[in-house]
Structure 1
Amino acid sequence: MTGPGDLPLIRQYRDWLQGSPPEDSPDREDFFTNGIVALDTNVLLSLYEYTPLAREQILNALNKVQAQLWLPHQVGLEFVRGRHRVIAQRVKVIKDAPNLLNRQLGEANKAIIAARELVQTLLIKYARDTEKSDNLASKISSQAIDSLLSDWKEELLSLVKGLKDHDLAPASMDANDPVLPQVAELFGSNIAEPPAPEKIRQLVDEAATYRFPNKIPPGYSDAGKGTPASAAGDFLLWEELIEYMAEKPGQSRLLFVSSDTKDDWYQPGEAGRGRRPWPSLASELRIRSGAELRIETPGQFYRGINRFLNAEIGEATYEEIDRAAETANDLTVTEEMASFTSPPADLTLAACRAAGLSEALTPQSEVENRVMSWWLIGVTTQLERRSPLADEPKVSIDATTRSETPPNPHWLPGDSLRLGEWPYRSSTWIAPWFVHALNRTSIADRRILQSLAAQQLDSVDRTD
């Protein structure tokens, strides 16, 4: 007797008719023990964000599926290019944290004073009680609030400064990277060769002219970000996965692990159904390769390894995994990213106005213009010249730094800037794009930009 699942209509569109695959699916274990396991770039880069103990447990867990692991070229390329950025971003966040804490505690002081003033106003307006109003002003003063907050402030700053004791630092990444060798050993020779240039060109063109305009997952949310090739990164990865599975007729299951749950990978929830990986992804993989697809977040994946392969992962490590996955989609614009990503025009305009510039930025090249614009966007929020706009990304770009050696050979010494305008000529290094921009601006704007850079440098130094 034919069951409903055998009917052509139901069989053909089963991916759309089913919900998100539950964690207790009868065939889930087979993905872990017999399928191909592919990790997205964000899963590998998260290894740099975990504490050493959590990282050790996670790498031990990954060894349980080592025989199933395969590294796409796109993931490998993004991983080796992105590892410095992840560490530099972590260091900057920790470095900026004390200054941010001081600002927030200052805002708390202002909020309490505002609440006191509200009560004073009510006392005078409705009770004519100036005595209680004056007593309140004496009792709840800014100095009294600072005194009450001082112990908490000291504890918070102490905890933040303790975070600097870590086994990862940007300066030692090339000589002493604790993650890269272990990842390389984990994958062994199970890594993809780079696609031919003509193949990449064909796929980038397909993404830009067909898939992205029609919002065909994955990756269409990245349309317009940076160069066409960088925007097509998720699609290039997807094509690698399909091609690899098509060349493995004996392999019928692909488990793809990623923190990316944006709408170009996950279908938004509807009434009676929550978010789920786009059914069209499973359908496309099956049609083109004959393989079944399962997509899991890192938390689901590592718990699956624990369940099916007896990995030893502590609860605290699961918490780190989940936290890292939650922040994986938070965009932070770095200098590398800024070089190929144009900022929104309204954001650049808001930053220029907040800085008080009289002219538009005119660096030497389009790349330098993008970096300079992003820096201005970031520094005007960092120095509280303006409030961030809705959905505005964080920016982690420095125009200057104070160190014994330059961050890279292209940075210029502080005396490259004009005498009388830059206060730290003998102790700093200046980004070349910043120097070039200053040389092409008016005297008034040049002084504004240098003042912003000096204030940014001072705010960083205060946290050291």
Structure 2
Amino acid sequence: MIFVVDDNELQGEQVGPNDPLLIQRFRSWLEPPPSAEDATRERFFTNGLVVLDTNILLSLYEYTESAREEVFTALESVSERLWMPHQVGLEFVRGRRSTLESRKAALTDAAKDVNQHLMQAVKSILAARNVVTKQLSKYGAALNAGEELNAHINDSTVKALLQEYSAVLKDQLNALKSQHGLPAEITEVNDPVLLRVAHMYGNRIGTQPDDAVLRARIEEAVGFRFPNEIPPGYGDLGKGTPVKAAGDFLLWEEVVEHAKSLPADCRRILLVSNDTKEDWYEIRKGSGGSQRPWPMLFEEVRARADAELRIETPSLFYAGIKQFLHADLKATTYEEIERVSSAQDLLTEEKDSPVTVHNAAHLTPPPGLALDASRSVGLTTAGTRSALESAVPTFRTFQWWLIGVTAQLGRREPSAGEHKVDIAAASRGHKAPPGSWEPATVFGPGDWVYRDSSWIASWFVRLLKELPQSDHAVLRSLAAQQAEANRSAFE
């Protein structure tokens, strides 16, 4: 006789010691996914070790000042049970500056982008005026009407009309800066987040593993676990150096080893992380695509440390602090927690997805990569170098395009883990591709081949107006070669 245990039969029930061996041995796979209604959940908040992933600590720099204060107060309610792995501490102190600089750069770029759009609006209005004055001049319906129109609609009057919109938009950006509540030029000495985190943890920070242990863990990660897709962190295989690729696993190893040192009656680990990628979470296809942390993570903690594990996202974790520890968190603070978490998810998706013309303006290329790409094709003028180091959106798109096209055409060897770039400056065909394109007739007969069957990306046309004339021939040649290569690949 064969007995079949349906996963649904276990919903709401915990596997017990009197269950058959098969059920006990694979309990993590058979028990229902963790939820806010679990009967044992409160114990993790009141009598468990709390481990915050690096992304939770870096999020503190993203909140507004008022929300940050509430979040800190909530965290301090569990401060005596907080423990920081050495890997988290290392990633936090190294990542805080780039988090701050990214926010600052985003607001600066937004202000530049606003100016660019407003200037483009001025040009568009003046171009519309010129259409009318040309017709007035051509047909002579009113000989002085064109002069009156030019006097009424000119560069100064249009800018004056748009000034109100400009002020409103810039006021909103300035308000975002003030709500941040952090010094404009932050250092280790005047960083209130860094100092408060340090005091909150005190001495509850893991020690650095010695070189032999670190080497063994990295080799286990990249040599065995990751190729076999054993969580956590296997999705980072091939990204950067082996040390960087193994970051999640190094954190995991510290948590498991530390769990062994906890008193036997309170070996509970509450791991809080915003990382819900497939190397931490299983997508349950038979359950409408719902996610749960990989059951093998719970199995490993039980087997190696005789401890219980719970993994929660920040929004669920802070809701638990309010429920079980009565922390005062306003609804607006929960909204901020969700906003920051969603932004981190988007950033993660952008890292794992191709760079396109739609997201390139908001992504910073790896340091020095755009300059390496420029040298591979002989772009050496000061003006082009300045564009390659600029954070202006159009120049960011240029940087990513140059990185992608030089790799695509074999002008340089892409590094391991380098972003895939899907940006084209030109296209061959009698019909324009989707997006913003202009006919190749914008270039002279000697500047572009197939002028009657090519399209030039609008961002590329604008770019050439900003770069030194001496580099135009090289850039047009790269764009033409890419268009031909893409045409060969898809037609």
Structure 1 length-normalised TM:
0.66
How far apart in 1 are the matches of 2:171 and 2:326? 38
Question: Among residues 210, 214, 235, which one is paired with 2:228 in the alignment?
Answer: 214
How far apart in 1 are the matches of 2:125 and 2:41? 54
Q: Deviations over 1:163-220 (max 9, x none)?
A: 3334324633222111122111111121111111110011011111111111111111
Aligned-residue offset at 1:255: 0.5
**3-state SS, counterpart of residue 271 of structure 1:** helix
**3-state SS, counterpart of residue 265 of structure 2:** coil
Cα–Cα, structure 1 residues 384 and 360, in superposed 2: closer, same or farther, change >3 Å? closer
Question: Among residues 324, 330, 334, which one is paired with 1:318 in the alignment?
Answer: 334
Verify the 8 A CA contact 2:84 2:205 in the aligned structure 1.
yes
Verify the 8 A CA contact 2:111 2:173 in the aligned structure 1.
yes
Question: Among residues 11, 16, 26, which one is paired with 2:29 in the alignment?
Answer: 16
How far apart in 2 are the matches of 1:302 and 1:381? 40
Q: 1:74 is matched with which residue?
A: 87
Comparing 69-78 with 163-172, greater Cα deviation is found at 163-172
How far apart in 1 are the matches of 2:334 and 2:118? 31
Verify the 8 A CA contact 1:245 1:251 in the aligned structure 2.
no
Q: 1:35 is matched with which residue?
A: 48
Cα–Cα, structure 1 residues 383 and 59, in superposed 2: closer, same or farther, change >3 Å? closer
More relative contact order, 1 or 2 (CA 8 Å, 6+ apart): 1
Aligned-residue offset at 1:104: 5.1
Q: 2:215 is matched with which residue?
A: 201
Q: Can you give the 5+ residue segments of structure 2 that lack an aligned partner in the other structure?
A: 1-8, 129-148, 352-361, 405-417, 422-468, 476-491
Aligned-residue offset at 1:92: 0.9
One-letter code aligned to 1:296: E
Cα–Cα, structure 1 residues 384 and 185, in superposed 2: closer, same or farther, change >3 Å? closer
1:387-398 matches, cutoff 5 A: none
Q: 2:144 is matched with which residue?
A: none
Question: Among residues 139, 145, 160, which one is paired with 2:173 in the alignment?
Answer: 160
Q: 1:171 is matched with which residue?
A: 185
Cα–Cα, structure 1 residues 153 and 240, in superposed 2: closer, same or farther, change >3 Å? same
Q: Deviations over 1:387-415 (max 9, x none)?
A: 878x9699xxxxxxxxxxxxxxxxxxxxx
1:272-287 matches, cutoff 5 A: 272-273=287-288, 274-287=290-303
Q: 2:279 is matched with which residue?
A: 264
Once superposed, what is the RMSD of the aligned Cα atoms? 4.2
Q: Deviations over 1:343-385 (max 9, x none)?
A: 7xxxx79x95xx7973489xxxxxxxxxx9x967977853554
Cα–Cα, structure 1 residues 313 and 223, in superposed 2: closer, same or farther, change >3 Å? same
Aligned-residue offset at 1:9: 1.6
Q: Deviations over 1:261-294 (max 9, x none)?
A: 1111111241325011111111111111111111
Cα–Cα, structure 1 residues 59 and 267, in superposed 2: closer, same or farther, change >3 Å? same
**3-state SS, counterpart of residue 300 of structure 1:** helix
1:291 matches 2:317 = no
How far apart in 2 are the matches of 1:156 and 1:359? 40
Aligned-residue offset at 1:27: 0.5
Cα–Cα, structure 1 residues 243 and 382, in superposed 2: closer, same or farther, change >3 Å? same
Verify the 8 A CA contact 2:112 2:392 in the aligned structure 1.
no
1:122-133 matches, cutoff 5 A: none
Verify the 8 A CA contact 2:281 2:292 in the aligned structure 1.
yes
How far apart in 1 are the matches of 2:363 and 2:399? 21
**3-state SS, counterpart of residue 250 of structure 1:** helix
Verify the 8 A CA contact 2:109 2:391 in the aligned structure 1.
no
Total equivalences in the alignment:
355
One-letter code aligned to 1:307: Q
One-letter code aligned to 2:190: N
Verify the 8 A CA contact 1:259 1:326 in the aligned structure 2.
no
Q: 1:50 is matched with which residue?
A: 63
Verify the 8 A CA contact 1:43 1:258 in the aligned structure 2.
yes
Cα–Cα, structure 1 residues 287 and 381, in superposed 2: closer, same or farther, change >3 Å? farther
Cα–Cα, structure 1 residues 231 and 335, in superposed 2: closer, same or farther, change >3 Å? farther
How far apart in 2 are the matches of 1:226 and 1:99? 32
Cα–Cα, structure 1 residues 446 and 281, in superposed 2: closer, same or farther, change >3 Å? farther
How far apart in 2 are the matches of 1:183 and 1:33? 21
1:254 matches 2:282 = no
How far apart in 2 are the matches of 1:383 and 1:337? 8
Q: 2:377 is matched with which residue?
A: 358
Aligned-pair identity (%): 41
How far apart in 2 are the matches of 1:173 and 1:23? 39
How far apart in 1 are the matches of 2:207 and 2:83? 11
One-letter code aligned to 2:319: R
One-letter code aligned to 1:225: K
Structure 2 length-normalised TM:
0.62
Cα–Cα, structure 1 residues 220 and 360, in superposed 2: closer, same or farther, change >3 Å? farther
Q: Can you give the 5+ residue segments of structure 1 that lack an aligned partner in the other structure?
A: 117-137, 362-371, 395-442, 450-464
Q: Deviations over 1:127-181 (max 9, x none)?
A: xxxxxxxxxxx9xx99999898664443122211233334324633222111122
Q: 2:252 is matched with which residue?
A: 238
1:42-121 matches, cutoff 5 A: 42-103=55-116
Question: Among residues 289, 301, 323, which one is paired with 1:307 in the alignment?
Answer: 323
